[in-house]
């Protein structure tokens, strides 16, 4: 891990108070945090209460162990979580934002696997590209290639050239134009360069996650989330939301990189997932 020391930025002025002032304000905030926690618990129950939809199509994947069906990805568990990782066939590297989310997978994938849940990343890039990038990032979680499959298209995280030409797609449960290619000011061009793809090619992928259950040999789709619905999975942001300056992103562009590129000259001023929010 690169722990290179950075120049300390000046901190903006902020109100101060006594310990008693702080405690009064903290207790008021605690009440609201508890309400949010209870609301989050209720939303989790509602997610689990969604109707299951049987998967009729025979999706096929390439994995480190060979060809696999969607049912094979469960590996003896009853539940499967898939992170739709932005890595198209013509990318040379993974999306930097998806990569920062995936940096946390190594730690908890083993816990999920021992709690009846398999976690996989799935991307359209050929398996050899995924394996090479996985080695570079020192990741151990399972990653499957859906190259040649309809899987990404059916779950609305990949888009065809025709959809791009006509400016229509479905993302985050809305049908609207592919805004990334049309709005390079959002930084998509820089992210495309970071992934080693041209803007049009880069913009045909988007982030998301999907959940599945295996019941009596039948796979059902239970849940999917996209765009800001992935915030809770982005571990670094959960910590930043509790830091004194929060996300601290007033300056244009992004501050994160692939974790082995910190300390190198910044070449990018945009973000794939922020750009994808144009579709929200």
- Residue 39 covered by a domain: no
pLDDT per residue, tens digit, the chain (280 aa), is: 455 555 667 788 899 999 999 999 999 999 999 999 999 999 999 999 999 999 999 999 999 999 999 999 999 999 999 999 999 999 999 998 899 999 999 999 999 999 999 999 999 999 999 999 999 999 999 999 999 999 999 999 999 888 877 777 889 998 765 544 344 434 677 777 788 888 888 888 999 999 999 999 999 999 999 998 999 998 888 998 999 888 888 776 677 788 888 887 654 434 444 444 433 3
Q: What is the CATH number of the domain that holds 160?
A: 3.40.30.10
Q: How many whole angstroms separate alpha carbon 86 and alpha carbon 271?
A: 12
- Residue 22 covered by a domain: no
**Cα end-to-end span (Å), the chain:** 34
The continuous run of DSSP H or E covering 62 comes out as: strand 60-63
- Residue 68 covered by a domain: yes
**What does each C-alpha distance from 258 to 49, 86, 225 come to in angstroms?**
37, 14, 23
- pTM, two decimals, is 0.87
The continuous run of DSSP H or E covering 77 comes out as: none
Q: Which of 170, 161, 80, 94 is nearest to 125 (CA)?
A: 94
- Residue 9 covered by a domain: no
Q: How many whole angstroms separate alpha carbon 123 and alpha carbon 61?
A: 10
Q: Is 84 exposed, middle or buried (0-12, 13-18, 19+ CB in 10 A)?
A: buried
The continuous run of DSSP H or E covering 69 comes out as: strand 66-69
- Residue 148 covered by a domain: yes
**What does each C-alpha distance from 263 to 2, 14, 35, 92, 138 come to in angstroms?**
8, 30, 41, 21, 18
Q: How many whole angstroms separate alpha carbon 248 and alpha carbon 9?
A: 11
Task: Give me the residues paired with residue 119 across strands.
Answer: 81
Structural domain harbouring 219: 53-279
What are the tokens at 107? 């730690």
- Residue 45 covered by a domain: no
- Residue 224 covered by a domain: yes
Q: How many whole angstroms separate alpha carbon 129 and alpha carbon 210?
A: 22
Strand, helix or coil for residue 125: coil
- Residue 29 covered by a domain: no
What are the tokens at 154? 């059916």
Count of domains forming the chain: 1
């Amino acid at each position: 891990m690169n722990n290179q020391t950075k120049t300390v930025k000046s901190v903006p002025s902020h109100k101060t108070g006594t310990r008693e002032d702080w405690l009064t304000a903290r207790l008021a905030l605690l009440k609201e945090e508890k309400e949010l926690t209870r609301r989050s618990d209720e939303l989790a129950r509602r997610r689990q209460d969604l109707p299951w939809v049987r998967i009729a199509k025979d999706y096929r994947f390439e994995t480190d162990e060979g060809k696999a069906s969607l049912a094979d990805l469960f590996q003896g568990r009853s539940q499967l979580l898939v992170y739709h990782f932005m890595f198209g066939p013509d990318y040379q590297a993974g999306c930097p934002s998806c990569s920062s989310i995936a940096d946390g997978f190594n730690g908890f994938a083993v816990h999920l696997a021992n709690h009846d849940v398999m976690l996989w990343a799935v991307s359209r890039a050929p398996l050899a590209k995924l394996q090479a990038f996985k080695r570079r990032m020192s990741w151990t979680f399972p990653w499957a290639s859906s190259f040649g499959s309809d899987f990404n298209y059916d779950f609305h995280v990949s888009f065809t050239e025709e959809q791009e030409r006509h400016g229509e797609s479905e993302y985050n449960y809305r049908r609207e134009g592919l805004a990334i290619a049309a709005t390079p000011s959002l930084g998509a061009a820089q992210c495309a360069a970071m992934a080693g793809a041209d803007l049009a090619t880069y913009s045909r992928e988007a982030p998301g996650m999907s959940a599945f259950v295996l019941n009596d040999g039948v796979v059902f789709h239970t849940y999917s989330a996209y765009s800001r619905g992935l915030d809770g999975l982005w571990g670094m942001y959960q910590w930043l939301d509790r830091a004194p300056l929060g996300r601290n992103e007033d300056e244009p562009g992004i501050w994160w990189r692939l974790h082995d590129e910190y300390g190198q000259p910044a070449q990018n001023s945009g973000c794939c997932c922020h750009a994808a929010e144009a579709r929200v």
